[in-house]
Amino acid sequence: MIYITEAQSAAIVTPDLAFDAMRAAFIAAVSPGAVSFPVVLGHGSDPQNRFTVKSAAAADVSGLKVGAYFPTNDARGLPRHASTILLIDQSSGRIGALVEGSAANCYRTAAADAVATDALARPDAQVLTLFGTGHQAAYEARAIARIRKLTRVLVVGREAKRTADFVAKLRQSGLPAEAESAETAVRAADIIVTATTATAPLFDADWVCAGTHISSMGSDATGKQELPPALFNQAHLFCDLPEQSTRIGEFQHASGAAPTAIGAVLKGEALGRRQDSDITIFDSSGISIQDLHMAQAILHAFQEDAAAS
């Protein structure tokens, strides 16, 4: 078994590696033979410390990811999130590689957003509205800035001090960020990204302008919700995996919804944006095939580096 530590995977992963891996993963997810198995939701001895197990198989890869969210880590000065991916050796059934990938998971999630947004947002989109001021939100902003030339990044947060600190962090990285109210930010947006743990809509459907693309990145469990359901009837709906999106993703709140897998758009088998005035929504509840492709890309880079040493 090959073991890649958190430090090693963090040193290997790049935005480009993540983007290419996510594009390949979305396409693999809609290809013959691909299977995403039911998600297992669990918690630690302290019920507020949660974890999920997501597993899948595709043409050339199978395995699982254990993703943990331990808010009690705050008191220890440790990150809340942890991610560990196991790749199954296809010839023996044993663990072929174990990849610690907490930092890589941040790149993976943001790259999934970037791939979908690149396929669905208007080419001339310039204003990003970002809901959320957490660790992942910063990755989302930087990923979108790589696929569109942003002139404004409008940040909506719950706490003024935290939002100001987050805006300053984005500005230090070269992004034209500023704090804004929810309504003003949504009305000005070409692209809206929600990266929160919300359990109720973050804005009103009436605030969204024609031509806007929206990515919901935070809804990945029953009861989570970031978007107003009234918006769904006005928009074209896309997701990473339809059966999961309508069960635990954002579209659990869209009665009778039949979202299109983004992989089908990337393969040219389904339409994405039809016209500039369309509202498009991408729901990312996260699928294991993404994690497996990410781990596979890191593994290949790791082996190449080892061979070159």
Catalogue the active-site residues: 65
Give the residue from 268, 267, 237, 259 showing the smallest Cα distance to 31. Answer: 267
Maximum Cα–Cα distance for the chain, whole Å? 58
**How many other CB atoms sit within 10 Å of the CB of residue 88?**
18
**How many other CB atoms sit within 10 Å of the CB of residue 1?**
10
Q: Give the amino acid at 172.
A: Q
What are the angstrom distances between the C-alpha of 129 and each of 33, 115, 198, 214, 261?
A: 37, 17, 16, 9, 24
Please state, in angstroms and rounded to a whole number, the distance separating the CA atoms of residues 211 and 197: 26
Provide the 3-class DSSP secondary structure of residue 88. strand
**How many other CB atoms sit within 10 Å of the CB of residue 91?**
7
Q: 301, 309 in Cβ contact below 8 A?
A: no
Handedness of CA 274, 275, 279, 284 (dihedral sign): positive
Q: 67, 54 in Cβ contact below 8 A?
A: yes
Q: In whole angstroms, what separates CA 220 from the centre of its chain?
A: 10
Provide the 3-class DSSP secondary structure of residue 307. helix
Please state, in angstroms and rounded to a whole number, the distance separating the CA atoms of residues 33 and 13: 28
Residue 214 β-bridge partners:
192, 281
